[in-house]
Structure 1
Amino acid sequence: MKKYILLIIAAITVSFFPQQINAEEDSLSLDSETAILIDAKTGKVLYEKDSRKIMYPASITKIITGIIAIEKGNLNEMVTVSSNARNVSGTTVYLLEGEQVPLKKLIQGMIINSGNDAAVAIAEHIAGDVESFSAMMNDFVVNKVGVTKSHFVNPHGLFNINHYTTAYDMAKIAKYAMKNQIFKEIASTKTLEWKGKGWETTLINHNKMFWRYEGVTGIKSGWVGQSGYTLVTSAERKGTSLIAVVLNSQTAERSYSDAVKLFNYGFENFETSLIAKGSTFQSAGRQYTLPKDYHFTKPKHATITKEVTRSGALLLKAYPETLDKIKLIPLAQGRTLPKSLSTTYSQSVQTDTYFHWLADLFTSQ
């Protein structure tokens, strides 16, 4: 009997989980060597092409530098530009040695105009030197963001063989950064008047997706010879927010074309839905509630059914697939959820949804 059950599970698993797209089976015909598209609210991977492959990021590195500066620095504090910052190679905002600039303005110059000098000035201000800031970057992405295949040795992204990431990691980093409203405001700025001691101009955001696609909200492009053209960009339409990452495109135009393909695919096929905090559900005579707003990604036009397991978990299904499994809070009859519990309870991890469902199926027989 066990043998037949295992065969059934194996057969259902294959039908529920189609093979992931890889570089050889890239149905969108992307130019970029690796890519990924995620739902920015839920983190759900909607499309990927070799997204865990180690790659060189170039200036999208500055996303990490920016969010660390915002979280750990005082945005109004004046930063003194060092000789080291003044003389860094690559794109700059023409800072002068000894010039004093507010930290927020440096972040703007770094994200909007990709200023390497601004990145070094930020790193030295926050951590004392570039090496210490790089160690901070690595600790931050592991312990705050939860990525595992990235390593950084500078704040700007100039090539170093030990400075690398993946499309998947950059999508998670971007998702984290764009939750911060100050970062989002800076990353979504198209143009900015810049008045410095060495340069007065209008900065125009290097991310040309702002002028190529409706609803773009950020965030950063990059290029060095060894990495090709890299792009992390975000867009929002009708309550659905997406993040696209493309790495090692042959030209800037092809990186933008790939991002457009990814966004079109995402918005045409998926949408983000909400189950409101306080929603109640019943199962086997017991009542449960949801302690926080819960977003989930669903295929467009799919009919979603909700089932509550005997253990008090809410299953969201778009037949035949289980989309999410959410832990609910039981309510005593005639009572509401205590306020302290509703504010401290954290949502359950959404992984292994399908196998939890199988366990419930077989243990309930």
Structure 2
Amino acid sequence: MLKSFFSLLLMILVFSYQSTSFAASATSKIDVKSEAAVLLDSDTGAVLFAKNPDEKMYPASLTKIATAIYAIEKGNLNDIVTVSANAVRQEGTKVYLNKGEQVPLKKLLQGMIINSGNDAAVAVAEHLDGNVDQFAKNLNAFLKTKIGVKNTHFTNPNGLFNPDHYTTAMDLALITNYAMKNPVFAEIFGTKELKWNGQSWNTTLITHHRMLKGEIPYPGITGGKTGYVDESKQTLATTANNGKIKLTAIELKGKNKKEIYNDTIHLLDYGFSQFQHETLTKDDVFQSGKQTFLPSSDLIITEPSQGAKKVINKNGLLSINNKDGQTIQTIQLSKKPEKPTMNSKSNPTKGPEYHLSAFYGIAIFALAGIVISLRRKWSSDLNENSPTGKSFGRRQRRG
């Protein structure tokens, strides 16, 4: 029985987890112009808005979000990186590195995210994996196995155009959400400006993200990254926190900067005004047919402010739906353990211990009977063999 109890406990721990639901359609309340967009609750992973979330598109410099979190987890931030000629030759935005220049890995990541340095990105990739091709293979494996992307394939660390370099709004939202849980990444992603002292360039780097640096005022912006190549048009990643809920917004293929920042504002306004956090406690029970399910621990979930409908299937998968029936989050619950029935297999009083106790009881009773019989016989023998003929058991009556 004890072994069965621990097996059941292990199953509860393994299968009770909170998972992300991939909402399929966009909400009609928001007019998003970008061709693809996703809004996530950064804490729970709930999908609050999705427009063409799984359509493969070119990310441009949003690629550097993936490069940064991969480098932070794999590399040593204090490593000194020697810049190659290949890194220096990169096109587009740079931090103007020199061949042979030695730069700490963290500083390269800062130059790559804050100023979108394509040269810094290649220097990082070559330091981590020897060359860009090997880096791309390792990065793709990392994104798939560690973060769970499904439609992403990167060929370089900086997002310069390649027809085989693509991702989706959903995958980028997952990557950004994952990265923001790392304090080093969150610090760099949220940096507005940084003094830069290089061999050929001494300046102050200022983020290109207009909402992060305050050029487009919006309260609670915690991080951001911009991107652009001709084939991708405008791309934008933004994180924000209003003190009650944290959001991650991704937009791909905006026509221009005004359009894509307006999309971001609409998404953040919608997320902050229409959703809230609630707690599922471990005492909350959900019935599916004859089966009962419950969380193994208290869980934070995201619900529409106007109310949510909770639907559970026969396998214990709980869906949090909005009033339109769209699923914004799913949570796997645990099956409630059944109470033991009164039978020989589950009732402790009918188990081996009971039968053993009964055996000992019968044996002791029988032994007591034998002892009493032997004592009586022993007393009788003594009386018969006494030289005085008197009974030792009682006083002899006089005639």
Q: What is the TM-score with the length of structure 2 in the denominator? A: 0.70
- Using the TM superposition, give the Cα deviation of residue 230 of structure 1 relative to its aligned residue in structure 2, in angstroms: 0.2
Instruction: Describe how 1:81-160 pairs up with structure 2 within 5 A.
Output: 81-160=83-162
- Using the TM superposition, give the Cα deviation of residue 121 of structure 1 relative to its aligned residue in structure 2, in angstroms: 0.4
Instruction: Describe how 1:1-365 pairs up with structure 2 within 5 A.
Output: 20-21=25-26, 27-210=29-212, 211=214, 212=216, 213-275=218-280, 279-281=282-284, 290-302=295-307, 324-328=330-334
The Cα offsets for residues 48-106 of structure 1, whole Å up to 9 and x where unpaired, read as 22121111110000001000100000001100111111111110011111111110110
- Residues 308 and 320, structure 2, Cα contact 8 Å, conserved in 1: no
**CA–CA separation in structure 2 for the residues paired with 1:320 and 1:27:** 12
**CA–CA separation in structure 1 for the residues paired with 2:316 and 2:153:** 40
- Using the TM superposition, give the Cα deviation of residue 289 of structure 1 relative to its aligned residue in structure 2, in angstroms: 7.4
**CA–CA separation in structure 2 for the residues paired with 1:131 and 1:238:** 42
- Using the TM superposition, give the Cα deviation of residue 326 of structure 1 relative to its aligned residue in structure 2, in angstroms: 4.2
- Using the TM superposition, give the Cα deviation of residue 315 of structure 1 relative to its aligned residue in structure 2, in angstroms: 7.8
Runs (4+) of structure 1 exceeding 3 A deviation are 279-284, 286-293, 307-326, 328-333
**CA–CA separation in structure 2 for the residues paired with 1:317 and 1:26:** 16
**CA–CA separation in structure 1 for the residues paired with 2:164 and 2:338:** 56
**CA–CA separation in structure 1 for the residues paired with 2:41 and 2:148:** 17
Q: 1:264 to 1:110 in 2, by over 3 A?
A: same
Report the residue type matching 2:333 in the other structure.
K
The Cα offsets for residues 103-146 of structure 1, whole Å up to 9 and x where unpaired, read as 01100110111000100000000000000001111111111111
Q: 1:89 to 1:283 in 2, by over 3 A?
A: closer
- Using the TM superposition, give the Cα deviation of residue 233 of structure 1 relative to its aligned residue in structure 2, in angstroms: 0.9
Report the residue type matching 2:38 in the other structure.
I
**CA–CA separation in structure 2 for the residues paired with 1:177 and 1:73:** 15
**CA–CA separation in structure 2 for the residues paired with 1:311 and 1:19:** 22
- Residues 317 and 330, structure 2, Cα contact 8 Å, conserved in 1: no
Matched residue SS, 1:253: helix
- Residues 24 and 53, structure 2, Cα contact 8 Å, conserved in 1: no
**CA–CA separation in structure 2 for the residues paired with 1:148 and 1:244:** 19
Matched residue SS, 1:63: helix
Report the residue type matching 1:121 in the other structure.
A
Greater relative contact order: 1 or 2 (C-alpha under 8 angstroms, separation 6 or more)?
2
**CA–CA separation in structure 2 for the residues paired with 1:259 and 1:41:** 19
Q: What stretches of structure 2 of length at least 5 have no aligned partner?
A: 1-22, 340-399
Matched residue SS, 1:135: helix
Instruction: Look at both structures and tell me which one has the larger radius of gyration over its CA atoms.
Output: 2
- Residues 24 and 50, structure 2, Cα contact 8 Å, conserved in 1: no
Q: What is the TM-score with the length of structure 1 in the denominator? A: 0.76
Matched residue SS, 1:84: helix
Report the residue type matching 1:95 in the other structure.
L
- Residues 293 and 333, structure 2, Cα contact 8 Å, conserved in 1: no
Q: What stretches of structure 1 of length at least 5 have no aligned partner?
A: 1-17, 334-365
Q: 1:19 to 1:205 in 2, by over 3 A?
A: closer
Matched residue SS, 2:163: coil
- Residues 290 and 328, structure 1, Cα contact 8 Å, conserved in 2: yes
- Using the TM superposition, give the Cα deviation of residue 274 of structure 1 relative to its aligned residue in structure 2, in angstroms: 3.5
Percent identity over the alignment? 44
The Cα offsets for residues 151-198 of structure 1, whole Å up to 9 and x where unpaired, read as 110000001111111111111111111111111111011111111111
Q: 1:312 to 1:177 in 2, by over 3 A?
A: closer
**CA–CA separation in structure 1 for the residues paired with 2:259 and 2:275:** 24
- Using the TM superposition, give the Cα deviation of residue 239 of structure 1 relative to its aligned residue in structure 2, in angstroms: 2.4
- Residues 188 and 219, structure 1, Cα contact 8 Å, conserved in 2: yes
Matched residue SS, 1:209: coil
